[in-house]
A = this chain, B = another copy of it.
Amino acid sequence: MEILKGEFALERENIRVDSNGYMVDTEHPKIFGSKNDNIYIKTDFAESQIELITPVFKSIEGAYNFMDNLQKIVSLNLDNEYLWVQSNPPILPLDENDITIAQYGDERTDYREYLAKKYGTRKSVLSGMHFNFSFQRSALKSLCKTLDHDKVLALYLKLNKYITKYNWLFVYLTGASPKFHESFKDKQGKPNRDTFFSCRNSEYGYKNLKDYILDYTSVENYTNSINKLIEQGEIAKASELYMPARLKEGYRICNGDSKVPYIELRFIDLNPLYPLGVNKNDLHLIHLMLVYFAMQDDFNFDEEMQRRAYHNRNQVALYGNVNILNDRNITVKVEEEALKLIRLVEKLGFVEGFYKDILQDAKHKLQDVTETYSYIIAAGVERKGFINYHMQKAKLYLDRAKRTEFTLKGYEHLQLSTQCLLGSIIKKGLNYRILDHAQNFIYVENNGHEEYIKEATRTSADSYSTVLVMENKHVTKFVLNKNDVKTPKGVAIESVGEGIEYYYDEVKGMPVVVKPNNTNFGVGINILNIGYSFEDYKMALETAFLEDSVVLVEEFITGKEYRFLVIGDNVEGVLHRRGANVIGDGESTIRELVAMKNDNPLRSTGYQAPFIEIQCGEFESEFLRKQGFSFGTVPRAKERIFLRGNSNVSTGGDALDFTDDVHDSFKQLAVKAAKSVNAKICGVDIIIGDISEPAGESNHAVIELNFNPAIDMHCFPTEGKKRSVGDKVLKLLFDKED
């Protein structure tokens, strides 16, 4: 259905609170950069009132998922603070002048001070959810038969009228601010009641001093009537008009280059029952209603009708399912009038399945007030207390964010490293676009500076030849040696026969690693420790030659392998990757221990989680056999059994952070190695005997440089401190502060 095609965005305000539910007085967190610059994370009225803004998406899911990501990123980056989940404020300072107004240092702060004086600071921190909607071009074509700008604006004005007229219904269905904290009361003791249906949408909420009557007879008249209010000094500007919907026109984030009209719906309370502050189905319901309204005839929204709309809305906001006045000024029950409308919507041809369920749910709420959000929340608050009830939710939603911190909603199909970088991009508020999902190719823009990034670490910072050098182990070694960086001794060979010849000459008895010249993910690599047989050696050669026509046979240096992630001039993370292993419990077989270790949300079979499940395949079986084990072996308690000789995470390994433990000389060495190939982003793999000792002649060797290092394992190691390396990549490319 073309007319269902819309563009959607969400804006949400949340007050930052401490763990006891007190509104905090801290500055807007620096980690999100400048409020001016960050296009997703800003402040609203108060300095401690964060505003989260999604770009425009062509589906409700898109906007909703992005809000999920914003919620996650902001929650996880607050320092012992929480996002307050309720539209009505948390515990406010005794003196409302102690609420710090958002500091911009320009006219935006002045305007907020004007609002504070006029409406009071307490009311100004009421928070809500805004839902921005426009039709896609094809939907507009269906509805208007033309894309004529005036016709389109007229359509949105019609929607505005319907939304305003029927706002009582939406307040009933989405109202979620029934209770408030004592500190919200003003000097006159208002609100002077203790339960609402939606306090925020009521006369005690954030509304204009008068119920202004506007001229809806044409777009021009409508604009003029608002301008008249401004001229008369009633309001300072159009945005001071606190109506349920607002007609807007403008560039929308990520929407491209043309200005489009859209409608902003402002009546939705923060819903504490849902992690994101809104039930996604409510957005679908509102969308459906908008489409329905768009299909209906226009009508004359005269003064009497506007007064009834103000009245009806306030009645529902105060009491819920009460009597309202219908178009003929006759008193009717909310339920009755609402069901009449819903039945008309149900008759639309495309309303079936999903939409039918949503309408059914609305009908339940209308028929039984105990099913409404407002009723459920009020009951909860009465049981647990206002602050306690909402803080429990806030903490629950923070835990939810933590459980999936390594992934972003809607981007699960992207590599985790790309998701990590996107997390940083969103945190820092940069404009971006996914250009090619399969290739993890993104476009990032900030103040006109554009970057194209593939797989998180393939960027403009590195030159093509730098990458080509790193792609070729043989050439890399040539360059490293030219720059006096110690690498393992070894040779490049071009046939199994040549390798065997070399074996007799040089390697016999020496521990060696046999690997294809060009490789990735450790495929085709074999490490042969002292005591290996000629057959082992030959098989290792054959395995490697399956992957490449050139194979390297290298001295195997004693020590552990560490991955140094160099970004710019610094080492931003040091990991040791431990090969696939399990630790015995004295009872379980190796096969059972593997299954237990794999049963962890951090491990998956693909790349959906930072770690990969350990396999019980032929390779692992062979590796166990050489140690005298099988999958049926029962290791002793605390005994660590390795299933792989290589330490790649991609074959089931662990990653442990050692960034703060490594001797600084090794970090310098890693930077030197990266600089020798002129790399700005580089994974330097170094074998080190003892990381606490300074780098010397014989205690290390650089074994590989990686031009496309994964960053997710630094962000989310199996053990040790998490490193926000995505931020560092952005700093390198955009010269952004951490």
**A 433-461 to B, binary, CB cutoff 8 A, 1 in contact else 0:** 00110110101000000011110001111
Indicate whether A466 sits within 8 Å of B464 (C-beta atoms), given known contacts A435-B474, A436-B475: yes
What chain B residues lie within 8 Å of A441 (beta carbons)?
468, 472, 475
Question: Which B residue's beta carbon lies closest to that of A455?
Answer: B468
A119 at the binding interface (Cβ < 8 Å) = no
A469 at the binding interface (Cβ < 8 Å) = yes
Question: In the complex, are the beta carbons of A465 and B451 less than 8 A apart?
Answer: yes
Indicate whether A462 sits within 8 Å of B459 (C-beta atoms), given known contacts A441-B468, A472-B441, A475-B452: no
Interface centre among A463, A474, A478, A707 (most CB of B within 10 A): A463
**A 142-172 to B, binary, CB cutoff 8 A, 1 in contact else 0:** 0000000000000000000000000000000
Question: In the complex, are the beta carbons of A458 and B468 less than 8 A apart?
Answer: yes
Of the candidates B439, B459, B472, which one forms a contact with A464 in the assembled complex, judged by CB atoms under 8 Å apart?
A: B459
Question: Which B residue's beta carbon lies closest to that of A439?
Answer: B472
How far is it, in angstroms, between the C-alpha of A466 and the C-alpha of B463 when the chains are bound?
9
- By size class, the interface of chain A is 20 to 34
A678 at the binding interface (Cβ < 8 Å) = yes
List A residues 539-556 near B (Cβ within 8 Å).
Answer: 549-550
A467 at the binding interface (Cβ < 8 Å) = yes
How far is it, in angstroms, between the C-alpha of A478 and the C-alpha of B433 when the chains are bound?
11
What chain B residues lie within 8 Å of A678 (beta carbons)?
460
Provide a sorted-by-A list of 7 A–B residue pairs whose CB atoms are within 8 angstroms.
Answer: A435-B474, A436-B472, A436-B475, A436-B550, A438-B549, A458-B465, A463-B464
How far is it, in angstroms, between the C-alpha of A474 and the C-alpha of B436 when the chains are bound?
8
- Interface SS of chain A: helix, strand, loop or mixed? mixed
Question: Which B residue's beta carbon lies closest to that of A435?
Answer: B475
Question: In the complex, are the beta carbons of B550 and A438 less than 8 A apart?
Answer: yes
What chain B residues lie within 8 Å of A465 (beta carbons)?
451-454, 458-460
How far is it, in angstroms, between the C-alpha of A301 and the C-alpha of B524 when the chains are bound?
61
Question: Which B residue's beta carbon lies closest to that of A680?
Answer: B464
Question: Which B residue's beta carbon lies closest to that of A463?
Answer: B460
Known: A436-B474, A441-B475, A452-B475. 15 other contacts (CB 8 A): A435-B472, A435-B474, A436-B472, A441-B468, A443-B478, A451-B465, A452-B468, A454-B468, A458-B464, A458-B468, A459-B463, A459-B464, A460-B464, A460-B466, A463-B463
How far is it, in angstroms, between the C-alpha of A468 and the C-alpha of B435 when the chains are bound?
12
**A 375-388 to B, binary, CB cutoff 8 A, 1 in contact else 0:** 00000000000000
How far is it, in angstroms, between the C-alpha of A582 and the C-alpha of B436 when the chains are bound?
41
How far is it, in angstroms, between the C-alpha of A205 and the C-alpha of B468 when the chains are bound?
53
Q: Taking the nearest CB of chain B, how far is it from the CB of A442, in angstroms?
A: 10
Q: Taking the nearest CB of chain B, how far is it from the CB of A624, in angstroms?
A: 37
How far is it, in angstroms, between the C-alpha of A443 and the C-alpha of B475 when the chains are bound?
9
Q: Taking the nearest CB of chain B, how far is it from the CB of A567, in angstroms?
A: 14
What chain B residues lie within 8 Å of A453 (beta carbons)?
465
How far is it, in angstroms, between the C-alpha of A435 and the C-alpha of B677 when the chains are bound?
14
What chain B residues lie within 8 Å of A462 (beta carbons)?
463-464
Q: Taking the nearest CB of chain B, how far is it from the CB of A338, in angstroms?
A: 40
Question: Which B residue's beta carbon lies closest to that of A708?
Answer: B464
What chain B residues lie within 8 Å of A460 (beta carbons)?
463-466, 678
How far is it, in angstroms, between the C-alpha of A137 and the C-alpha of B462 when the chains are bound?
39
Interface centre among A452, A454, A466 (most CB of B within 10 A): A452
How far is it, in angstroms, between the C-alpha of A324 and the C-alpha of B338 when the chains are bound?
129
What chain B residues lie within 8 Å of A463 (beta carbons)?
459-464
> What are the 5 tightest A-B residue pairs by CB atom distance, in nearest-first order?
A460-B465, A460-B463, A452-B465, A462-B464, A454-B468
Q: Taking the nearest CB of chain B, how far is it from the CB of A545, in angstroms?
A: 14
List A residues 409-455 near B (Cβ within 8 Å).
Answer: 435-436, 438-439, 441, 443, 451-454
Q: Taking the nearest CB of chain B, how far is it from the CB of A691, in angstroms?
A: 30
How far is it, in angstroms, between the C-alpha of A632 and the C-alpha of B479 when the chains are bound?
57
What chain B residues lie within 8 Å of A454 (beta carbons)?
465, 468
What chain B residues lie within 8 Å of A472 (beta carbons)?
435-436, 439, 441
What chain B residues lie within 8 Å of A438 (beta carbons)?
549-550
Interface centre among A438, A439, A468, A474 (most CB of B within 10 A): A468
What chain B residues lie within 8 Å of A436 (beta carbons)?
472, 474-475, 550
Q: Taking the nearest CB of chain B, how far is it from the CB of A640, in angstroms?
A: 39
